[in-house]
Every structure is written in C-alpha cells, then in structure tokens.
Amino acid sequence: MNDLMSVVDWSRAQFALTAMVHWLFVPLTIGLSLIVAVMETKWYRTRDEKWLKITKLWMKMFGINFACGVATGIILEFEFGTNWSNYSWFVGDIFGAPLAIEGIFAFFLESTFIAVMFFGWKKVSRGFHLAATWLTALGVVLSALWILVANAWMQYPAGMEFDPAQMRNVMADFGEVAMSPVAVNKFFHTVLSGWVLGAVYVIGVSCYLLMKKRNREVAVSSIKVAGWVGMAGILLTMWTGDGSAVEVSRVQPMKLAAMEGLYRGECGQGLVGVGILNPDKKPGDDRDAMLWGFEIPKGLSILAKHNPDAFVPGIDDLIDGIELTADGDTIHTVSYAERIEAGKRAQTALADYEAARKAGDDAAMALAAERIKADYQYFGYGYLESPYEAVPPVGLTFYAFRIMVMAGGYLLLFMALALFMVYRKQAWLDKKLVLLGGLATIAIVWICSEAGWVVAEVGRQPWVIQDLMPSRAAISSIESGSVQFTFWLFVVVFTLLLAAEVSIMVHEIKKESKRNILD
C-alpha cells in the first residue's frame, strides 16, 4: 500500500507540474492570438503601416509562446498513457474523442494557418493573410474547447454509460458530453480569462517600451487595443465565474465547501471575503473552522444558488448526508458512508458479472448488470476506506480561490485605469511608478490564472473522474522510482524551457526597445 500511494503521489505531482507549466503558455496564446488578429484587422482597414509593424511585433511574441505551449502540451497528453493507463482504459472512447478532434481538426487548423501568418506576408494577398490570422486564433480557441470538454467530463461525467462487458465507460450521447453546462461554462471562463492575460502581457510590455522612451506611439496604440480586449475579458470572466459557482454547487458541492472552508452550512450562508483557516480543524471535530475572517452575509447562498436564503451544505453536512429545508428542518440525503457501501456493491456486482461471463451464464450476467447499474453513480466510492478520504485539501483550495478572486478584482481596476490613462491622462504614462506597476501586473495575472486551475483541479480531489474513479484506481502499474526519476527530469527540462522562453522574449523585447519600431 505504501508503494502504491507513493506511485499515486508522485504521478499526481508529475502531472500537476506538467499541467501548471503548460498553463503558463496556453492563456497567453489565447489572448495574443485575438489581439494580433484585431491589430492586423486595423491595418487591413486603415492601410496604416504603423499597424502592420505593431502586428508583427506582437505576432513574434505569440510565435515564441506558441512553440513552448505545443511542447508541454504533447508531454501532458503522453502522461495519460504512461502514468494513468487505468484511467485511459476506464474512460473508453469518451475522453479520447475530444482530444482526437482537437488533434485532427483544431490543432491542424491553427498549425496550418500559423505558417501563413509568419511566412505569407509577401506570398498571399492582404485579405487572405488576415483570414489566416483569424483562422489561427479560431484554431487556438477550438483547441481549448475540446481539451476543456475532456476536462469538464472528468469533473461531471455526462453522456456515457458503463459497459460491464468491456469494463469501461462508453459514450452514449456526444452532444451531452460536448455541451454539458459544466463544459460550456468552463470553456468560456477559460478562454475569456486568456483574453485578460494576453491583454495584461501586451500592456506590461508596452509599459517597458514607454520606459525606454523610444516607441511611445507603438506602446500607446498597443495599450488601446489590449485595454479593450482585457476589459471585455475581465467583465465576461467575472460573469462566467458566477456561472461556474452555480455549476460547482450543483455537481461538485464538496469542492464548493472546500473553497469556502465550510464544514457546517446553513440557510442564508455567508461568504468568507478574507480569512485565516484553523490548521487544526478536521472534518467531524468541534473546532472552529476559521481563526479569523470577514464574512459577507448570505453571500455564498447568493453566489451558489442565486437565492439569499438557500441552504449551502458544508463538508460535514455532505459526509453525513444532511440538508436543511427553507424552514430549517433537517432532511436526509445519501451519506458518504452509504456511498462507499453502494460503490462496494457495484464493484462486487462487476466481479460477479465477470465470473458469470466466464461461466457463460447469461441470466446471472443480466442480474449482475442490473445491480451494477443501480449503484454505479457511486462506483468510485468503493475504493475509499473512509468518508473523509473524499475531502479535498481544504487549505490549498480555500486560499487559491481567494487569490484568484482578489487578483481578478485588481485586474478589473487595472484595465479601467489603463484605458483611462491612454485616452484621458497620457501624461501619467510618463510616471515610472505607473509603468513599473504595469510590468508587475504581468506576474499578478499569471498568479491569478494558475490559482484558478488549482481551485478547479485540487478542489475535485481525490477524484480523477468525479464519483467514479479516485486517483489510486487510475494509475499505471509502474514503479514509484520510475515516476520519481521522470518527475525530476521534467523539473530540469521545464526549468530550461521556461528559462529559454523568458530569455528569448526578454531579448526580443529589449531589441525592439532599442530601435524605432515604426522606422
């Protein structure tokens, strides 16, 4: 068991490392692809050579980042086969279908037209080149769509059935997989947040150009485009964030409870604005959950249920299978202990089905299949030894959520200030403190973005597939030493990759700052 958990822990660490490094590149690719397309559109419509040169500047940044994102993305997909082969088998064709569509169609689209973007300036017409740029941006978004559909299915496994004959899930309704509310909301929330990150990057680099006092017109024009893209992005991201809270409340209530550090809920549940968790608090004990906190009255009920008097369950409520009515009366749902028993019954029925299949007993197979179906929604709980194993890391989820929200609020003010300065108070763009603030915001937006993914992925632990497969059941049959070796190998490779990208980007930005870009 100790070696098993070592393999699980190291495999999770390796996948988390790869995913978080990959996520450094993805949102910037999404945001820059749109900004570049908008800038080239301005050149196409105005025929002003200024916009052509500005477009080429940011297209160069896009290309550097795109290449690094592809490299880390390929590694990420290979890990499903090397480290998580049981998961890959269990999900059947469901998880593979969106990834196949992404590889065959979306990635093919962006990879094809990105060549025209970079090498077709004097080989194709202006209109065709503009179309190629927009199609590249579309390909980037479609790649994100299918990857996020696959991820959303792991959070909310819809549109599938379990086939005991194959001992894996099979797709029953592709439309339900692709268009589930969780998938749709996750797609828009992620893409729109990419707009924000791309916009902040452009504004931050433009602030550096302003500090060098050589390319003011380029910097100001870039901030105008990026400011509007970023403002639209942050407002729409907040709107979709509200939708995300509703969906999490509906399909992953334990994640929501961890996000709030909530152990016992109530009707009209407050929302913790800022706070410090009690590190000694454990599910089921009588300790206070918070050492200190500021609470917004009824805020969580409004956020999660859009009803100020709605009941929001906490961790202990969910484990005990307790909810409250609007009148405060207690009602019983399915406790986690009951879910574990149901999961074990489903797994026993699956073993009976396999034994009946080998014996050629069709009647026993049909009976076992019905037993599996009756309890299958809690199949994954059968792997748990205690209800408390279904509780995600509360501290990490709680603090990551607040970092994301507070950073998001700052980014809204940042975009508003950037637009105000560039249109009304351009003299402020000569102040060093303002420009340094723009540069520092590049780090803040990346922290915000990574914190969002921590909430989404850590908050659903221990599940690889919500309620159906925990991490311990998903791993490959490999030695922990092999995973440890590749983990540290990836640490070295990714460190070198990040160093290379930052070095190349900094070199290119410094080079551009030393010349007049419009010459």
Domain boundaries, the chain: 2-252+392-513, 256-331, 336-387
CB atoms under 10 Å from CB of 297, counted, come to: 12
The whole-number average pLDDT for the span 368-382 is 93
Q: What is the pLDDT of residues 225-275, one digit of tens each?
A: 999 999 999 999 999 999 999 999 999 999 999 999 999 999 999 999 899
User: What's the pLDDT score for residue 326?
Assistant: 67
Fill in the amino acid letter for 485: F
For residue 2, the model assigns a pLDDT of: 54
The helix (run of H) or strand (run of E) holding residue 234 is helix 216-251
Residue 88, pLDDT above cutoff 80? yes
Local structure of 187: helix, strand or coil: helix
Q: What is the pLDDT of residue 38?
A: 96
Strand partners, 335: none
Which residue type, as a one-letter code, is found at position 397?
T
pLDDT band, very low/low/confident/very high, at 328 (cuts 50, 70, 90): low
- Report the range of poorest mean pLDDT among 58-72, 209-223, 299-313: 58-72
The answer to whether residue 447 scores a pLDDT higher than 70 is: yes
Mean pLDDT of the chain: 90
Q: Indicate if the pLDDT at residue 302 is higher than 60.
A: yes
Q: How far apart are CA 137 and CA 135, in angstroms?
A: 5
Residue 151 tokens read as: 């991820």
197, pLDDT greater than 90: yes
Q: How confident is the model at residue 327 (pLDDT cuts 50, 70, 90)?
A: low
Whether the predicted pLDDT of 162 surpasses 70:
yes
How much of the chain is helix, strand and coil, in % rounded to 5?
Answer: 75, 5, 20
Helix axes 216-251, 2-46, angle to 10 degrees: 140
Stretch 64-70: mean pLDDT:
84
What value does the mean pLDDT take over residues 86-113? Answer: 79
For 123-183, the DSSP string reads TS-HHHHHHHHHHHHHHHHHHHHHHHHHHHHHHS--SEEEETTTTEEEES-HHHHHT-HHH
Instruction: Report how far residue 130's alpha carbon sits from residue 271's, in angstroms, rounded to the nearest whole number.
Output: 47
pLDDT for residue 97 = 82
**Band of pLDDT at residue 188, cut at 50, 70 and 90:** very high
β-partners of residue 169 are 162
Phi, psi of 493 (to 5 degrees): -60, -45
Q: Which residue has the higher pLDDT, 233 or 1?
A: 233
> What pLDDT does residue 330 have?
72
What CA–CA distance (Å, rounded) separates 453 from 314?
Answer: 22
Asked whether the predicted pLDDT for residue 93 surpasses 80, the reply is no
Q: What is the pLDDT of residue 345?
A: 95
pLDDT category at 87 given cuts 50, 70, 90 is confident
Mean pLDDT of 192-203: 96
pLDDT at 5: 61
Output the six-digit token pair for 491.
């640490």
Looking at residue 196, its amino acid is V
One-letter amino acid for residue 56 of the chain: K
Indicate the burial class of 122 (C-beta count within 10 angstroms; 0-12, 13-18, 19 or more): exposed
**Cα-based angle 378, 384, 386 (whole degrees, multiple of 5):** 110
- In the predicted model, is pLDDT for residue 1 greater than 70? no
Percent of the chain at pLDDT exceeding 70: 98
Give Dmax (Cα) for the chain. Answer: 84
State residue 3's pLDDT score: 59
Q: Is the pLDDT of residue 377 over 60?
A: yes
63-77, 336-350, 404-418: least confident range: 63-77
- 292 — phi, psi (to 5°)? -160, 145
List Cα–Cα distances, 74 to 70, 166, 222, in angstroms. Answer: 6, 28, 32
* Token pair for 206: 């433009």
pLDDT confidence band for 4 (50 / 70 / 90): low
**CA 492/CA 375 separation, integer angstroms:** 45
pLDDT at 519 over 80: no
Nearest to 341 by CA among 322, 323, 321, 355: 321
Mean pLDDT of 322-348: 85
- Neighbouring residues of 407: CB distance < 8 A, sequence distance ≥ 6: 444, 445, 447, 448, 451
d(CA 158, CA 162): 11
CA distance 462 to 467: 9
pLDDT(108) > 80:
no
Q: Residue 474's pLDDT is what?
A: 87
CA distance 480 to 152: 29
| 453: region left, alpha or beta (phi > 0 left; psi from -120 to 50 alpha) | alpha
